[in-house]
Structure 1
Amino acid sequence: MPLTGHCNCKAITITIEDPPAGSNPLSSVYCHCTTCKRQSGASGTYVVVADEDKVKIDDPKGYQKTWKDTLTDSGTPLDRQFCSNCGCPLTSITPKYAGKTIVKMGLFDTIPEAAAEIYCKNKQSWEPDFGIPALQGSR
């Protein structure tokens, strides 16, 4: 079943065809990297890594913009897409995951549970233990 969401101003709609079920730690993660924290205004960002051909972006007004993030925790630059009208983060693209799109799950009203956390070295001491695997870093 497709998963459809939108940015805050509803100008951009994103659909993931055949979204990951949430049980694969390589497809659904809560990211604690420093840039995701700043982008989300929270302790991190929940994302799904989906095949790029399964991600459909409808942007009739041409609001989608890209920022080249060269300050990543991994050291690999990535492109972060956002809505230039409302500022909502949309997706990220990195050469580390060729053929994949990293979709920001805050776009969707209902989202599957995260299967893992990454960049836990940046996790705040007061954040709860989610009881899911930490793929990189430690508390």
Structure 2
Amino acid sequence: MRGTRASIRLSALCACGQTSMALDGEVLSMLLCTCLDCQKATGTGHSAAAMVHESALQLSGPVRSHAVTAASGATLSRHFCSGCGTPLFAVSSRSPQTRLIAVGFFGAETDWFEPRHVLFARSHNDWDVLPPIPRHATYPERPER
């Protein structure tokens, strides 16, 4: 799958069964993030996220959110089931039209997920074993236009 974008169609329920999330569309990016906020939000060394366009996401059920100001100055809003706290997705003010989906929400239905890079590797903990993929201290550099 390297070099191509996955198109996914799946749905799942949160841990308490009150909130469902469905995805139907192209995955724009697949990544691991080791920033300190992701470590706190996941309770481990990194988050696994798939970026999709907001139109690819459908939610049903009670959802709450919590916003933080990231070290970059961007606002990151994390959305979760208000009943059980299961992480659903995040929205960054850097890209408000996209959603960073918590890949683990889909349990065993994640064979499509192939992280391509690690963001905020400057915060990576040595005990958190990651695959041998490109690592960026913060965000990847964008090519000059």
Post-superposition Cα deviations, 1:54-86, rounded to whole Å, max 9, x if no partner, equal 111111xxx20011112x232211211111211
TM-score w.r.t. the length of structure 2 is 0.80
Which residue pairs with 1:132 in the alignment?
133
> How many equivalent residue pairs?
128
| SS of equivalent to 1:113 | coil
1:33-72 counterparts in 2 under 5 A? 33-59=35-61, 63-70=62-69, 72=70
Deviation at 1:108, TM superposition (A): 0.5
| SS of equivalent to 1:42 | coil
Provide the rounded CA distance (Å) in 1 between the counterparts of 2:10 and 2:97: 19
Asked whether the 8 Å contact 2:35–2:46 carries over to 1, the reply is yes
TM-score w.r.t. the length of structure 1 is 0.83
Provide the rounded CA distance (Å) in 2 between the counterparts of 1:84 and 1:27: 27
Provide the rounded CA distance (Å) in 1 between the counterparts of 2:105 and 2:87: 8
Provide the rounded CA distance (Å) in 2 between the counterparts of 1:135 and 1:11: 37
Which structure has more relative contact order (CA 8 Å, sep 6+)? It is 1
Provide the rounded CA distance (Å) in 2 between the counterparts of 1:19 and 1:79: 22
Identity value in percent:
22
Bigger strand share: 2
Which residue pairs with 1:106 in the alignment?
104
Provide the rounded CA distance (Å) in 1 between the counterparts of 2:103 and 2:130: 20
The amino acid across from 1:75 in the alignment is: G
Shift >3 Å, 4+ stretches? none
Deviation at 1:128, TM superposition (A): 2.6
Unaligned runs of 5+ in 1: 21-25
Provide the rounded CA distance (Å) in 1 between the counterparts of 2:89 and 2:118: 18
The amino acid across from 2:82 in the alignment is: S
Provide the rounded CA distance (Å) in 2 between the counterparts of 1:42 and 1:117: 15
Deviation at 1:45, TM superposition (A): 0.7
Asked whether the 8 Å contact 1:34–1:73 carries over to 2, the reply is no
| SS of equivalent to 1:2 | strand
Unaligned runs of 5+ in 2: 1-7, 139-145
CA 1:65 to 1:135, structure 2 compared with 1: closer, same or farther past 3 Å? same
Asked whether the 8 Å contact 1:3–1:19 carries over to 2, the reply is no
